[in-house]
Amino acid sequence: MIITCEDIYTHGTNYIFGLATTGGGLISSARIDPKFWDGVPEIFHYSKGGNEFFLKQFAKVLLHEAGHALSLDHCRDLGCVMRYSNSPLELYSKGGDFCSRCWNRLVANLGAKD
């Protein structure tokens, strides 16, 4: 994984938190930090979480992109870290781990046994 503090985007998007394909990826810390969104009322109270909050959100993006690098697709489970995040609020509200379905797919993709 490559990590940058630069804002990143792909064609047709305003921004992305990260991007990965099988084998590697790129993560931007720029929009993960609630301080980036100063002045947006819906996000204001998240900025009080400090570094601990930022690190938890960064870990979600890292785990999400690692999942893609290991051949996982997006998930519809609201609590799953593989759920697509189209906004900081969606990132902040989703879980920080794989759901059981994605975990099982990950284990199968890696060829691991119980």
Helices (H), 7-99: 41-44, 50-69, 88-93
Catalytic site positions? 65
Q: CA–CA separation, 22 vs 94, rounded Å?
A: 23
CB-CB contact of 47 with 54 (8 Å): no
Residues 6+ apart with CB under 8 A from 57: 32, 33, 91, 92
Compute the Cα dihedral for 63, 80, 34, 36 and give only its sign.
positive
